[in-house]
Structure 1
Amino acid sequence: MRNLVWGLLCFVLFYSCKKESGCGYSDQNIVAPVNEQQAVKDYLTSNNIQTALKDSSGFYYEILKVGDGNGVAGLCTQVELTYTGQLSNGNVFDQSTTAFTLGSSIEGMRKGLPYIKKGGHMKLYIPPTLAYGSNDIKDNSGKVIIPANSILIFDITLNSFY
């Protein structure tokens, strides 16, 4: 019995370590609920967006330009991108060129960005569970810039990664 418990413990530890990256970020395997996936699909339909593909986690994406080069960004990768983030009502909440570690971003970005390579351009349509969920996101003055349970739309160009 003792050997069985020890064996199971080793298996669990090995399996959990295998999924975690060397930088401390790990794949969360979060899937948006069906109602959120449907809300994104309804948004796409009402805006006549017919080329968006669905990822198994529940967000949708359009690849406008794949990009070139070898490799794709991973969780530990430092990415530099230019993006515009907007709500489904069209309000832009952020627009920037920035660099960050991909694993530190929202789940929809973490899972979506690897679809393109350096120089690639895409749009992401992210349900709330893969973004900020039921949390309001406020600016420095306390004004809500992303209301809770918002669908987020990102227009992204991946400038580089390393």
Structure 2
Amino acid sequence: MSKNYGFALLIGAILASSCQQADQTPCTATIVTTKAPSEEVATLKQFIDAGKLAATFDERGFYYTIQSPGSGTKPTVCSNVTVNYTGKLTNGTTFDSGTGISFGLNQLIVGWQEGIPLVAPGGSITLYLPPSLAYGPQEQNNIPANSILIFQIDLVKVN
């Protein structure tokens, strides 16, 4: 587990309030519908186009590429999942990674809540996230403020 994982989880928990209420009401959401601002989507599209990336646009404002769809039941934002992942900046710098990490999706950044449910266990996806679906205007350790982030995620299992 990387040293940044705990910090990323904490920030994700702060940003992820769509499922878990302060009164600890059980999570019942099936999908997150947060949308990125059009300016961020346009900047992300420029990055995708410049890199000639074969990525699919999601109406919520991010892009993704599914390397393997996996099989079985896909997780929801309320699921607890185990993943292997690598997070990179657009310049290729790796800022975080982890293997066999388990967490509740509703505890993490919105882009993961929206993107991971696109694959089933055994699946692999690359998420291209605009700032508002990641860490936004706050600098985080090795992540500059307002960064587009790229995550390669293997969904090991839904716990």
TM-score of the aligned structures, taking structure 1 as reference length: 0.78
Aligned pairs (5 A) from 1:6-21:
20=19
Which of residues 84, 102, 107 in structure 1 aligns to 2:105?
102
**Residue 76 of structure 1: CA displacement?**
1.9
Task: Give CA deviations for 1:62-119 in whole Å, capped at 9, x if unaligned.
Answer: 01100012x2111221110001000111110011111110111100110001110000
> Percent sequence identity over matched residues?
38
**Residue 38 of structure 1: CA displacement?**
1.1
Q: Which has the higher contact order (CA 8 A, sep 6+)?
A: 2
2:111–2:129 CA contact under 8 A, matched in 1: yes
Matched, 1:34 2:31: no
Give the structure 2 partner of residue 76 of structure 1: 78
1:25–1:104 CA contact under 8 A, matched in 2: no
Indicate the SS of the match to 1:90: coil
Give the structure 1 partner of residue 122 of structure 2: 119
Structure 1: where are the runs of 5+ without partners?
1-18, 139-144
Taking the aligned partners of 1:20 and 1:30, their CA distance within structure 2 comes to: 12
Taking the aligned partners of 1:25 and 1:134, their CA distance within structure 2 comes to: 29
**Residue 47 of structure 1: CA displacement?**
1.1
> Quick check: which has more Rg, 1 or 2?
1
Task: Give CA deviations for 1:22-78 in whole Å, capped at 9, x if unaligned.
Answer: 5347566321111111111111111110x2111111000001100012x21112211
Task: Give CA deviations for 1:126-145 in whole Å, capped at 9, x if unaligned.
Answer: 0000011101112xxxxxx1
Taking the aligned partners of 1:116 and 1:20, their CA distance within structure 2 comes to: 20
Give the structure 1 partner of residue 49 of structure 2: 45
Aligned pair in 2 of structure 1 residues 83, 131: CA closer, same or farther (>3 Å)? same
Code of the residue aligned with 2:45 in structure 1: it is: K
1:84–1:155 CA contact under 8 A, matched in 2: yes
Code of the residue aligned with 1:159 in structure 2: it is: V
2:19–2:106 CA contact under 8 A, matched in 1: no
- The root-mean-square deviation of aligned C-alpha atoms, in Å, is 1.8
Runs of 4+ in 1 over 6 A off after TM superposition: none
Give the structure 2 partner of residue 90 of structure 1: 92
Code of the residue aligned with 1:118 in structure 2: it is: P
Give the structure 1 partner of residue 155 of structure 2: 158
Code of the residue aligned with 2:98 in structure 1: it is: S
Taking the aligned partners of 2:19 and 2:81, their CA distance within structure 1 comes to: 19
